[in-house]
Structure 1
């Protein structure tokens, strides 16, 4: 049965290009480390096909495979900065725009206990 998820069949062009770049980078990292596809697959606990598909940048490959390969090649450090709320300029600007512009005095505590 074919997957009918449009994201997996035809991802937006920037997504497709980012995945292809990531896959190519993972392949180069594996080759530079002289690790075979089988060794990489064994290290992350998957089959060789998953590694091959990740290296092709397939959108249908589970994100866990991509992250596990980054870990296997000791490249996981920069991953923790992805989507960091502290560096999300657009998100910070939107949050700032929603902040209250005035502060009201509280009515205080009533003496009624």
Structure 2
């Protein structure tokens, strides 16, 4: 049984696009959802949920499916043009908790 997860519309749209891209990658490789499920240690139904962009599926399962497709490398890279423009010189090296 799946619990509905509320996420912003823009995030939901991105997740649906991500799932569709995973489906296209699987089909280009001529792999069944069952084969990907076996390689990722999950079920065919969960692969279908991922391909639908279901936000209730654990991120670790998404990552396992990406690995099963050979797409894991570079997955964690974030495109952050705003952050790239900001200077990191003024940021603290680490945060400390105040004892208090």
Q: Distance in 1 between matches of 2:83 and 2:40?
A: 35
- Which residue, 83, 86, 96 being the options, matches 1:90? 83
Q: Which has the higher helix share?
A: 1
* Number of corresponding residues: 92
> TM-score when scaled to structure 2?
0.75
> TM-score when scaled to structure 1?
0.67
Q: Distance in 2 between matches of 1:28 and 1:98?
A: 41
Q: Alpha carbons of 1:97 and 1:9: their partners in 2 closer, same or farther (altered >3 Å)?
A: same
Select the structure of larger CA radius of gyration. Answer: 1
- Structure 1 runs of 4+ aligned residues shifted over 6 Å read none
RMSD: 2.7
Higher relative contact order (CA 8 A, sep 6+): 2
Q: Distance in 2 between matches of 1:59 and 1:68?
A: 15
